[in-house]
Amino acid sequence: MKKKFITAILAVSCVGLSVGSAFAALVTCSNVSITGIGTTTNPAIVSGLTVTVKNETGAACGTLANGLTRRYALNDVNTDQTYATLLTALSLQKKLTITTGETADSLLFVAAIKN
Protein backbone atom coordinates (compact mmCIF):
# COMPACT_ATOMS: atom_id res chain seq x y z
CA MET A 1 0.00 0.00 0.00
CA LYS A 2 2.83 2.36 0.93
CA LYS A 3 4.63 1.74 -2.38
CA LYS A 4 1.42 2.31 -4.33
CA PHE A 5 0.84 5.61 -2.51
CA ILE A 6 4.35 6.87 -3.23
CA THR A 7 4.13 5.67 -6.84
CA ALA A 8 0.83 7.51 -7.26
CA ILE A 9 2.33 10.69 -5.81
CA LEU A 10 5.30 10.46 -8.17
CA ALA A 11 3.07 9.85 -11.18
CA VAL A 12 0.82 12.79 -10.36
CA SER A 13 3.85 14.99 -9.61
CA CYS A 14 5.32 14.26 -13.05
CA VAL A 15 2.52 16.36 -14.49
CA GLY A 16 3.92 19.27 -12.49
CA LEU A 17 7.38 18.57 -13.88
CA SER A 18 6.14 18.71 -17.46
CA VAL A 19 4.40 22.01 -16.72
CA GLY A 20 7.61 23.29 -15.16
CA SER A 21 9.70 22.66 -18.25
CA ALA A 22 8.40 25.93 -19.66
CA PHE A 23 10.07 27.82 -16.80
CA ALA A 24 13.71 28.59 -16.03
CA ALA A 25 16.27 25.90 -15.29
CA LEU A 26 15.10 23.20 -12.92
CA VAL A 27 17.30 21.40 -10.45
CA THR A 28 16.79 18.09 -8.65
CA CYS A 29 18.13 17.69 -5.12
CA SER A 30 18.17 14.14 -3.84
CA ASN A 31 18.76 14.50 -0.12
CA VAL A 32 16.90 17.37 1.53
CA SER A 33 15.03 17.59 4.81
CA ILE A 34 12.03 19.75 5.62
CA THR A 35 12.61 22.47 8.19
CA GLY A 36 9.20 24.10 7.85
CA ILE A 37 5.86 24.13 6.07
CA GLY A 38 3.64 27.17 6.05
CA THR A 39 1.31 29.57 4.33
CA THR A 40 1.92 32.94 2.76
CA THR A 41 -0.17 35.90 1.66
CA ASN A 42 2.32 36.72 -1.10
CA PRO A 43 0.09 37.13 -4.19
CA ALA A 44 2.88 35.76 -6.41
CA ILE A 45 2.48 32.36 -4.71
CA VAL A 46 -0.86 31.20 -6.10
CA SER A 47 -1.19 28.09 -3.92
CA GLY A 48 -0.47 30.10 -0.76
CA LEU A 49 1.67 27.23 0.56
CA THR A 50 5.42 27.13 1.12
CA VAL A 51 8.01 24.62 2.28
CA THR A 52 11.48 25.31 3.63
CA VAL A 53 14.08 22.62 3.00
CA LYS A 54 17.66 22.08 4.08
CA ASN A 55 20.22 20.78 1.59
CA GLU A 56 21.89 17.71 3.10
CA THR A 57 23.39 16.29 -0.10
CA GLY A 58 26.99 16.97 0.93
CA ALA A 59 27.45 19.37 -2.00
CA ALA A 60 25.74 22.34 -3.57
CA CYS A 61 22.47 21.57 -5.29
CA GLY A 62 22.07 24.19 -7.98
CA THR A 63 22.52 27.51 -6.18
CA LEU A 64 21.63 26.05 -2.76
CA ALA A 65 24.84 25.37 -0.87
CA ASN A 66 25.18 22.30 1.33
CA GLY A 67 23.76 22.86 4.82
CA LEU A 68 21.71 25.92 3.90
CA THR A 69 17.94 26.28 3.79
CA ARG A 70 15.63 27.78 1.18
CA ARG A 71 11.89 28.40 0.97
CA TYR A 72 9.98 27.15 -2.06
CA ALA A 73 6.38 27.72 -3.14
CA LEU A 74 4.08 24.82 -3.86
CA ASN A 75 2.89 24.59 -7.42
CA ASP A 76 -0.84 25.22 -7.77
CA VAL A 77 -1.10 21.97 -9.78
CA ASN A 78 -1.37 18.86 -7.57
CA THR A 79 -1.08 21.01 -4.45
CA ASP A 80 -3.00 18.60 -2.21
CA GLN A 81 -0.91 15.60 -3.21
CA THR A 82 2.39 17.46 -2.87
CA TYR A 83 1.36 18.93 0.48
CA ALA A 84 0.38 15.46 1.74
CA THR A 85 3.77 14.12 0.68
CA LEU A 86 5.57 16.97 2.45
CA LEU A 87 3.55 16.57 5.66
CA THR A 88 4.21 12.82 5.63
CA ALA A 89 7.94 13.35 5.18
CA LEU A 90 7.97 15.97 7.95
CA SER A 91 6.09 13.79 10.43
CA LEU A 92 8.23 10.72 9.68
CA GLN A 93 11.45 12.79 9.52
CA LYS A 94 12.25 11.39 6.08
CA LYS A 95 14.52 12.87 3.43
CA LEU A 96 13.08 14.04 0.11
CA THR A 97 14.05 14.26 -3.50
CA ILE A 98 12.73 17.51 -4.95
CA THR A 99 12.68 19.20 -8.34
CA THR A 100 12.41 22.97 -8.25
CA GLY A 101 13.72 26.23 -9.65
CA GLU A 102 17.06 27.54 -8.44
CA THR A 103 15.93 30.64 -6.54
CA ALA A 104 14.04 31.31 -3.31
CA ASP A 105 10.26 31.13 -3.71
CA SER A 106 10.63 29.10 -6.93
CA LEU A 107 7.90 26.58 -7.56
CA LEU A 108 8.37 23.10 -6.12
CA PHE A 109 7.32 20.71 -8.88
CA VAL A 110 8.15 17.24 -7.59
CA ALA A 111 8.59 15.91 -4.08
CA ALA A 112 9.28 12.25 -3.40
CA ILE A 113 10.00 10.59 -0.06
CA LYS A 114 13.25 8.65 0.19
CA ASN A 115 13.38 5.30 2.04
Please report the pLDDT score of residue 16 as a whole number.
Answer: 45
pLDDT, tens digit only, all 115 positions of the chain: 555 545 545 444 544 444 444 456 899 999 999 999 999 998 888 899 999 999 999 999 999 999 999 999 998 888 899 999 999 999 999 999 999 998 988 999 888 998 7
* Inter-residue contact 79 to 45 (CB < 8 Å): no
List of residues 6+ apart from 88 with CB closer than 8 A: 94, 113
The CATH class for the domain spanning 2-113 reads mainly beta
pTM score, whole prediction: 0.75
- Count CB atoms within 10 A of the CB of residue 108: 25
Distance of CA 40 to the CA centre of its chain: 16
